[in-house]
Amino acid sequence: MAVGFGPFVIGPAVERKIGAATFAQMALTPDEWRTADWAKTQGLFQESFETVEQLDAYLTHFSNSLCKYSPDALLELKKVFWQGTEHWDTLLTERAAISGRLALSEFSKNAIAAFKKA
């Protein structure tokens, strides 16, 4: 936001995951650090781990579980999870156009130039 554009392209996926209010909070306060635990409580992550070894163990367990499921059932479940996103090809193109237009604005050019000098 400080350089004149925002999370327009990634926004739909993040907003879908965490909701409009939390997405707005993140978008309007990008300089505030948020922990993995915060992201988990907001629904951005399903799990968080203290160590890489814990993560690896969980991924092995989770992957082995998925391998035991019906591929057809998983495919259908994926379709259910992504319902309501059929328009995203158009939406993401529109959002990319917004980002491009804003990135080329005088505000952005000046902000980026000032950032490079710092």
Q: Looking at the chain, which runs of residues are DSSP E strands?
A: none
The confidence band for 3, taking pLDDT boundaries of 50, 70 and 90, is: confident
Question: Which helix H or strand E contains 49, and what residues bound it?
Answer: none
Chain centroid to Cα 53, Å, comes to 25
Place of tokens 């710092």: 118
The confidence band for 80, taking pLDDT boundaries of 50, 70 and 90, is: very high
Question: Within a domain: residue 1?
Answer: no
What's the mean per-residue pLDDT of the chain?
A: 94
113: containing domain: 11-117
For the whole prediction, is pTM greater than 0.85? no
Question: Within a domain: residue 74?
Answer: yes
The pLDDT score that the predictor gives to residue 23 is: 96
Task: Count the domains in the chain.
Answer: 1
Question: Within a domain: residue 5?
Answer: no
